[in-house]
Structure 1
Amino acid sequence: MATFPPYPTQPPQAGAPPAALGHAHWWQRGWVRYGALVTLLALSGLVILALVREQTGTEGFLVGLGLAVLPVPLLIAAFRWLDRVAPGPWRNLLFSFAWGACAAALIAIVANSFATKWIATATADPSGADTLGATVIAPIVEESAKAAAVLLVFLFRRRDFTGIVDGVVIAGITATGFAFTENILYLGTAFGTDQLTGDRGIASVTAATFFVRVIMSPFAHPLFTVLTGIGFGLAATAADRQHTRRVLIPLCGLLLAMGMHAMWNGSSTFGEYGFFAVYAAFMVPAFGLLTWLVIWTRQRELRTVREELPAYAVTGWLTPAEPYALGSMRARRIARDYAARHLGKPGARAVVQYEAFATSLAFLRHRGRRGRAGADFVVRERELLAELWHRRETARPALDYAARATAPPVPVSAPPWPLYGAYGYPTGPNSGYAGPGYAGPGYGGPGYGGPYPAYNPYQS
C-alpha cells in the first residue's frame, strides 16, 4: 500500500517569505524562455502567413481567413467546457493554439511539399505522388508536429498536466489552431480556382470545400490529435518509476492518431462513396466514443473531488460543506454568482481561484493515495493549502451558500454532513473541531485564524 505524509495541521504563516531560490543560469530564467518561445512562434507565423498568401493570393487569403475562423470559437468553447472542473491557465491554451496555427502548420507545409516532390522524382509513376503524400507522409508529419505542443506542455508545465482531460484539451486546442491555418489555405485556393473559371464571389468549389471542411468535419483534426493527448494524459497518471509506460502510451496514442488521419485522407481513394462511408462508419462513431470518454472522465474528476476533500474538512482546512459544493458544477456556478453579486468581480475571481486550487489539491491527494505522487508532494500540498487559506474569507461563505442551495432533501435520520455544533461545525470525537477557536485536535490549536463568524459577511 502506498504511504504518504499525514495531512498538515499547521496554518501557513501570514506574510512568510518564499523559500530562497538558488541562482539560475541565464538560459534557465523564465523571461529568456518566454522570449525565445514568443520569437519562434512569431517568426513561424510570419513565414506561414507569407507562404499561404503566396499560394492563395491576397483576395483568396482574406476569403479563406473569414471562412476558416467560423468554427474556431465553437471548438475552443467546447474544449474549455471540458476543462471547467480543473481549468488550466490561459497561457497554455494560447501557446497550444499558436503552435498549431504557426509552428506545426509551417512544419507540415514545408515537409509535405518536400516529401511529395521527392516521391514524384524518385518513383516511376509521378502521378501517385500526391496520393501517397496525403495518405502516408501527411499524417506522420502533421500529427508529429501537433504532438510536439502536447509534449512541451507535458514536460515544462507538468503541474498543469494531471490527466486525460488536460491531454485532450491541449491536443484539441493545438489541432484547432492547425486546422484554422490549413482551412485558410484550402478555402483560399478553392476561391482562386473559382475565380479562374470565371465565377464571381463564393462559387461551387469554395462552397464544396467549406461544406466538407467546416460544416461536416470541423472536428477532424482535433479528433486525430486528441488520441495523442489521451496517451499523454494516461502517462501523466502513471507513477514516476513507470518509465516504460510513460513513454509507450503516448507513442501508441500518436500512432493511432496517424492511422486515423491516414484513413481519413485516403477515403477519397476508396471509390465514389468512400469518403461518405468512412465518415459515417468510422469518423462519427469515433467522435461519439471519444466524446463519451472525455465526459465520463470529467464526471470522474468531480467524483474524485468529492471523495478526496472530506479528509481536509476533518482536519479543519475546509468546512464540511465545501467538498460537496466543490464536487458539483452547479454548486460552483452558484458560489461564483453569489460572490459576484455581493463582492463584484474580485470576489468571483477569488472563488474561481479557490475552486481551482481545491480541485488540484484533490487530484494531488488522489495520486498520492495511489502511489503516483512525485517527490514534491509535500511541498505542492502545502502550497495549495496556503492558496486556499488566503482566499477562505471570500470563498467559504459563497461555497457554504451554494451547498445549502443545491443539497438534496435528506431524511431527518440521515443528515448529509456530521452533526453541527457551535458556528455550524461538526462535533464529536473524530470531527477535528472543538467549537469556537478551532482548538480541536489536529487543527493547530488556538490562534489558527479565529472562529469563522456565524453571520453571513456578504449581508449588511
Structure 2
Amino acid sequence: MATCPPYPTRPARPPSLPRPHWWQRARVRYGALITLLAISGLVILALVREQTGTQGFLVGLGLAVLPVPLLVAAFRWLDRVDPGPWRNLVFCFAWGACAAALIAIVANSFATRWIATATADPASADTLGTTVIAPVVEESAKAAAVLLVFLFRRRDFTGIVDGVVFAGVTATGFAFTENILYLGTAFGTDQLTGDSGIASVTAATFFVRVVMSPFAHPLFTVLTGIGIGIAATRTGRRHRLRRALLPVAGLLLAMGMHALWNGSASFGDYGFFAVYAAFMVPSFGLLTWLVIWTRQRELGTVRTELPAYVVAGWLTPAEPFALGSMRARRIARQQARRHAGKEGARAVTQYEACATSLAFLRQRGRRGRAGADFTVRERQLLDALWHRREVARPALDYAARATAPPAPRPAPPWVYPYGTHGPHGPYAPYGPYTPYPSYAPHAPHAPHSPYAAPPPYGPHPTPHPHPYPHPHPHHRP
C-alpha cells in the first residue's frame, strides 16, 4: 500500500484561546439567517399576493419560474472548474428572491410616495422612481448578498468567476419575484379588460421580461460581482485602496446600466429596442466572453500549478493534464460511474474540486497573497486527495489517455525530393525528430508550502517524456 508523502503534523490549538461568544457560533448565525430569509419570504409573499390576487399570483408564479432553471444552470456551468458548495447558491437565490425583493418594494414605494407628495406631480415621481430610485435601491440590495458571501465565506470566494456566479444567482432570484409581480398584475389587468391571447398585456409582459430580457437583472448585478471578484484577488496593504474602490465602481456601473434600461421606455416609441440592440446585447456578449476567458485561465492555472505536486509524489504525471481539461474531467466522472457507481463519480468530482482549490491556493501562495492558514489549508486539501486517490486516479488516467493528442508522425523520405525544403526546413532523410508533447512546465515553488517540492534547477537535459507510450487507440497508425 502506498504511503502518504511526509509532512509536518498540524499544530494543536492553544488551550489559552477563549471560547467564542454565543452570537459567534455557526448555529446561531445560520439560525438567524434562515429566520430572516423565512420572514422576508412570508412578507413578500403576502405583499405580492395582495397586489396581484390569488389567481394572478399563481399565473405569475407559473410563468416566472420558466427561465430560472436555465439561468441557474448557466451560472453553475460557469462554476464547473472550481464548484462551490450549493448552500452559497441557495443563500444567494433566497436573498435575491426574498430579502432584496422586500427591500426594493418597501423602499421604492416609500420613495415614490414621498417624491409625489413633495412635488405634487405623481407622473414625474413615477418616472424619477423608476429611473433613479429603483436602480440604486435594487442594485444595493442585491450587492449585499455578494458582499456577505465575500465577508463570511471567504474561502469559497476566490476570483471573478465566483463573483459572477454569486451575483448572477442573486439577481436571478430577484428577477423571479419581480416577474411574479409584473406578470400577476398584467394578468389582473387582462381580467378587468377581457383581453386574452397574443394581444393581451400578460403576453406582452411575458415576451419582454421572460423571452427578450431574462438576463437583464443578472447582467446588471454581475458588474458588481466582477468588482468584488477582482478585489478578492488583491491582497496586501498596497492594494487596500483598490479593494475598496473596485466593488464601489462595479456597483455604480450596475446602477448606471440599470437606470439606462429602465429609462429606455421614455426615449420614444423605439427607445426600448434601440437600447436593447445597441447596448444590452453587446454588453451581454462582452461579459460572456470575459467570463469564459477567465474560466480558461483558471484551467491554465490548474495545469501550471499542479505539476509541483507531481514532483513531490502527491499526484501522478497524467493528472495535471486531465484536471486542466473540462472534457477529460467529464470522461473521468463517466468512467468512475461505470465502474464504481454514483459513489465513484462523486469521489472523482470531489477529487477534481480539491485539486483545483489546491492549484488556486498554491498560486496565491506563490504570489504572496495567501493567508496565515495556507499550510493548514494545503494539508487539508492534500489529505482529501490522498483518501480518494484509489478511485480517482484510474479514472483520470483513463481520461488523460482518451484526450491525449496524437503523436506526430515523421514525413517519409519520398514526400519531398532531395534538395527541396519541407515544412520543417531543409530536407532530411527521415524528417525532423519531434518528441511527444510534454505537459505544462513545473510551476515555481511556493515559499509557504512545505509539501510541494520545487522543480530541479536549470534546463532539462531532455524533453519531458510523455506519460503514455502510445497515443489514443483511435489515432494509432
| TM-score calculated relative to the size of structure 2 | 0.83
AA aligned to 1:217 is S
Given candidates 211, 218, 221, the residue that maps to 1:222 is: 218
Give, in whole Å, the separation in 1 of the partners of 2:92 and 2:66.
Answer: 19
1:43 aligns with 2:39: yes
Given candidates 154, 159, 171, the residue that maps to 2:155 is: 159
Give, in whole Å, the separation in 2 of the partners of 1:442 and 1:133.
Answer: 60
Given candidates 383, 386, 389, the residue that maps to 1:386 is: 383
Gaps of 5+ in 1: 1-7, 419-440, 444-460
Give, in whole Å, the separation in 2 of the partners of 1:202 and 1:62.
Answer: 20
Quote the offset at 1:317 in angstroms: 0.9
Residue pairs, 1:19-418, within 5 angstroms:
23-199=19-195, 204-241=200-237, 242-411=239-408, 413-417=434-438
The superposition leaves residues 195-229 of structure 1 with CA deviations (integer Å, 9 ceiling, x where unpaired) of 11123578610000000000000000000000000
AA aligned to 1:59 is Q
Kept after mapping to 2: 8 A contact 1:97/1:175: yes
Give, in whole Å, the separation in 2 of the partners of 1:342 and 1:140.
Answer: 53
Corresponding pairs, count:
412
CA 1:20–1:97: 2 relative to 1, 3 Å: farther
Quote the offset at 1:238 in angstroms: 0.3
Report the equivalent of 2:459. Answer: none
Quote the offset at 1:377 in angstroms: 1.5
Kept after mapping to 1: 8 A contact 2:227/2:246: yes
Q: Secondary structure at the match of 1:72?
A: helix
Quote the offset at 1:125 in angstroms: 2.7
CA 1:392–1:11: 2 relative to 1, 3 Å: farther
AA aligned to 2:210 is V
Quote the offset at 1:416 in angstroms: 4.0
Quote the offset at 1:372 in angstroms: 1.7
Kept after mapping to 2: 8 A contact 1:101/1:174: yes
Give, in whole Å, the separation in 2 of the partners of 1:185 and 1:17.
Answer: 55
Find runs of 4+ consecutive structure 1 residues off by over 6 angstroms: none
- The structure that has the greater radius of gyration is 2
AA aligned to 1:84 is R
The superposition leaves residues 424-445 of structure 1 with CA deviations (integer Å, 9 ceiling, x where unpaired) of xxxxxxxxxxxxxxxxx999xx
Give, in whole Å, the separation in 1 of the partners of 2:101 and 2:44.
Answer: 7
The superposition leaves residues 255-281 of structure 1 with CA deviations (integer Å, 9 ceiling, x where unpaired) of 000000000000011111100000000
Q: Secondary structure at the match of 2:358?
A: helix
Give, in whole Å, the separation in 2 of the partners of 1:38 and 1:186.
Answer: 27
| TM-score calculated relative to the size of structure 1 | 0.86
Kept after mapping to 2: 8 A contact 1:9/1:442: no
The superposition leaves residues 79-130 of structure 1 with CA deviations (integer Å, 9 ceiling, x where unpaired) of 0110000001000000000000000000000000000000001114332000
Bigger RCO (CA 8 Å, 6+ sep): 1
AA aligned to 1:234 is I
